Structure 1
Amino acid sequence: MSKTETELMLKGYGLTTAEFFYRMPDYLNVLNSFVWQDYDLAPDHPRLFRFIEYWQKEIEGPLHSVRFTHRKLIAPGEWRNVVGEFTLH
């Protein structure tokens, strides 16, 4: 069952962005970069580490380094349920 982005954010997920620096097997002197984004849980980052494991097993370009950041888009104090509405002329 897939969850919507809002459901994930309300459960504590935040947007994780990672930049992978890797070398091509044929050109080891050239560094390339790849940007990856997904909703993940800090501080363990299970989705990010699962992707890194996938990269190391399945992709021929060896990783040089990974730089990532995590942003919680909805914090507990930022979201509230509004019940009423009023109009102004």
Structure 2
Amino acid sequence: MKPTETELMLKGYGLTTAEIYYHMPDYIHVLNSFVWQEYDLAPDHPALFKFVEFWQREIEGPLHSVRFTHRKLLSSGEWHHQVGEFTLH
């Protein structure tokens, strides 16, 4: 079973967004872009590098460049489990 986004964030994963520029296979001088997002671990970014390796192996459009950013949305120190009940009138 695939872990939820919250479980990944609690394990230290952050959201990695990559903007991939590649040459069109039939028009090699034309660049196109593709945006990829996945929860990944910094600084090694195994999911991003796995995707780039897949692209180079399986996709016909040769890569021009890859720009990416990584943001941790939640850390384990920021998560507090609260149990309680509020009664409203």
TM-score by length of 1: 0.90
**Secondary structure of 1:29 counterpart:** coil
* Count of aligned pairs between the two proteins: 89
Q: How many percent identity over aligned positions?
A: 79
Pairing of 1:66-81 with structure 2 (within 5 A): 66-81=66-81
Pairing of 1:1-89 with structure 2 (within 5 A): 1-87=1-87
Q: Which amino acid aligns with 1:38?
A: E
Moved over 4 A (4+): 85-89
Q: Which amino acid aligns with 1:47?
A: A
Cα-Cα RMSD: 1.4
Cα distance in 2 for partners of 1:3, 1:83 equals 23
Cα distance in 1 for partners of 2:81, 2:59 equals 45
**Secondary structure of 2:78 counterpart:** coil
TM-score by length of 2: 0.90
Q: Which moved more, 1:76-85 or 1:15-24?
A: 76-85
Q: Which amino acid aligns with 2:9?
A: M
- Gaps spanning 5+ residues in structure 1: where? none
Native 8 Å contact 2:22 2:31 kept in 1:
yes
Cα distance in 2 for partners of 1:70, 1:87 equals 40
**Secondary structure of 1:52 counterpart:** helix
